[in-house]
């Protein structure tokens, strides 16, 4: 099994706010990310595909095609947008990096050109990063939910 990763970037605004909490709790919990009018991050998205090398192409996954899929299904929809208001696939979601990573997984999972989606990694800042391996960790080799033939 090999793992191949395509990286892309986008800039977006968000506001983290849980209406079930008081304004004071939200401010304490989310800090700058709770500012009333939102604020921005320069996100880095890494998408990792797992698979075997095709004898015909010598590739696990054509990165040019993966780039195009990531652009069309995710990056073009979120770049220079407000994640709370402008993005259909994030509708109704409190856009923490955790929730955004899960939503990106769902956008990409069925559109990977070859191999299978293994990991969505989202940097919200240089120092804060979240990894999502799919429902019940099924992207992790030997993890729950992984079919026997992979």
Can you name the residues that pair with 48 across neighbouring β-strands?
Answer: 5, 119
CB of 45 to Ni ion, least distance (A): 16
Within a 10 A sphere around the Cβ of 29, how many other Cβ atoms?
Answer: 13
Task: Check the CA dihedral 32-79-99-120 and report its sign.
Answer: negative
83 binds Ni ion (CB under 5 A): no
- We find the least distance from the C-beta atom of residue 138 to Ni ion, in angstroms, to be 29
- Give the nearer residue to Ni ion in terms of CB position, either 31 or 141: 31
DSSP H stretches of helix in 23-121: 23-30, 63-70, 76-78, 97-108
With beta carbons less than 8 A apart as the criterion, state whether 14 and 87 touch.
no
Nearer to Ni ion, 33 or 75 (CB): 33
CB of residue 80 to Ni ion, shortest distance in Å: 15
78 touches Ni ion by CB under 5 A = no
Instruction: Kindly report the number of other CB atoms within 10 A of residue 78's CB atom.
Output: 24
Minimum CB distance to Ni ion, residue 104 (Å): 17
Other beta carbons within 10 angstroms of residue 23's beta carbon come to 10
122 binds Ni ion (CB under 5 A): no
Q: Does residue number 90 form part of the binding site for Ni ion (CB under 5 A)?
A: no
* 45 neighbors 121 (Cβ within 8 angstroms): yes
Size of the site for Ni ion (CB under 5 A): 1
Report the residue closest to Ni ion, judged by CB: 33
Interface of this chain with Ni ion, residues 25 to 54, rule: CB under 5 A: 33
Q: Which residues are catalytic?
A: 33, 80, 124
Where do contacts with Ni ion occur on this chain (CB under 5 A)?
Answer: 33
């Amino acid at each position: 099994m090999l793992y191949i990763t395509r990286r892309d970037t986008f800039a977006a605004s968000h506001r983290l706010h849980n209406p079930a909490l008081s304004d004071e709790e939200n401010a304490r919990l989310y800090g700058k990310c709770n500012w009333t009018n939102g604020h921005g991050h320069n996100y880095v998205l890494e998408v990792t595909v797992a698979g075997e090398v095709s004898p015909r192409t010598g590739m696990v996954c054509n990165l040019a095609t993966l780039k195009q899929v990531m652009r069309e299904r995710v990056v073009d929809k979120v770049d220079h947008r407000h994640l709370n208001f402008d993005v259909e696939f994030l509708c109704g979601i409190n856009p923490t990096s955790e929730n955004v990573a899960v939503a990106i997984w769902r956008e990409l999972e069925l559109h990977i050109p070859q191999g299978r989606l293994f990991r969505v990694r989202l940097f919200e800042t240089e120092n804060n990063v979240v990894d999502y391996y799919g429902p019940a960790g099924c992207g992790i080799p030997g993890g729950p939910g992984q079919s026997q033939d992979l």
